[in-house]
A = this chain, B = another copy of it.
Amino acid sequence: MAMLLILPGRNPTNIADLLEARLPGADVRIWPETGTREDIDFVVTWNHPEGELGTFPNLKGVMSFGAGVDHILADRSLPAAVPVSRVVDPVLAEDLREYLVGVVIAHRRRFHEYRESQRRMSWEPHRYTRASRVGILGLGRIGSTVARGFAALGFQVSGWSTGDKSLPGVSCHTGPEGLIAITAGADYLICLLPLTPATEGILNYSLFASMKRGSCLINAGRGAHLAEADLLDALDKGMLGAACLDVFREEPLPPDHPFWKRPEIIVTPHVSALTATETVTAQIAENYERIAEGLPMLHPVDRIRGY
């Protein structure tokens, strides 16, 4: 048996070394050096070339290198019987909470404007409003942690999820009416949804039209949640006042993309939460051993539901 790492655009030598230290004698290969394809029974991947997963006849499991699995599920060459799993990093949720709390406060309290004033050596205090409302789309492990973090800092927090949820200090909603209840009231609307056919493009013109005027959209879900042209249109029309985007349909964001130059858009380069190498390698090693023993992988994904 062999494990194959398909991580285009990264140098996975370090990961492979850590895995070999945890799994003495294991056959760890780095794509595109696949060797004999029949040997591969476990693939770990992030943004592999579509069609690649169907080329391993003895595949027993595919694991995402991160929390999302949309890149794996989008590959129709992957036989329906092959189980899919993902990394669940408890610290990832805390990192996202930190990033999002920081982004909201930096916007509310005008940190970027003060940085500009400092450049001009100019003392320009601004008053601030109190009690911003934060709406969170997605109340899974990550969304719940983020919601509780904002609530602990005195924000009014509401959240939206597919199934009913109950979280202390958070007003929870579901369904299409629930979505509108949140968008209409939120000063900051944060997308943390998984990417599925049902959520692809959910951040679109009609959603922006239901948002509070002057409010701020934050996307820390996936690039494909956002209808990019709709956002520019909605900003032009003042439907929302600002956006902070950490994920994009194409990453790195191309140099000629209009988002870079819009003063109301804050672009961060997919840094809201970076999976800790140790957590990932421990979970990859565990899944490798589980597959060798014929056991189900850790953190399996429901391929129909999409997360």
Contact in complex: A152, B149 (CB < 8 Å): yes
Binds B, one of A22-30, A45-53, A178-186, A252-260: A252-260
**A112 adjacent to chain B (CB < 8 Å):** yes
List 8 other contacts, CB 8 Å, given A97-B154, A98-B153, A152-B153.
A95-B130, A97-B153, A98-B105, A98-B154, A102-B111, A103-B111, A121-B255, A128-B271
Tell me the bound Cα distance from A115 to B114 in angstroms. 13
Which A residues have a C-beta under 8 Å from some C-beta of B?
91, 94-95, 97-99, 101-103, 105-106, 108-112, 114-115, 117-118, 121-128, 130, 149, 152-154, 251-253, 255, 260-261, 266-271, 274, 276
Chain B residue at smallest Cβ distance from A127: B274
Contact in complex: B105, A99 (CB < 8 Å): yes
Number of identical monomers bound together in the oligomeric complex: 2
Chain B residue at smallest Cβ distance from A105: B102
Chain B residue at smallest Cβ distance from A98: B105
Contact in complex: A130, B255 (CB < 8 Å): no
Contact in complex: B276, A118 (CB < 8 Å): no
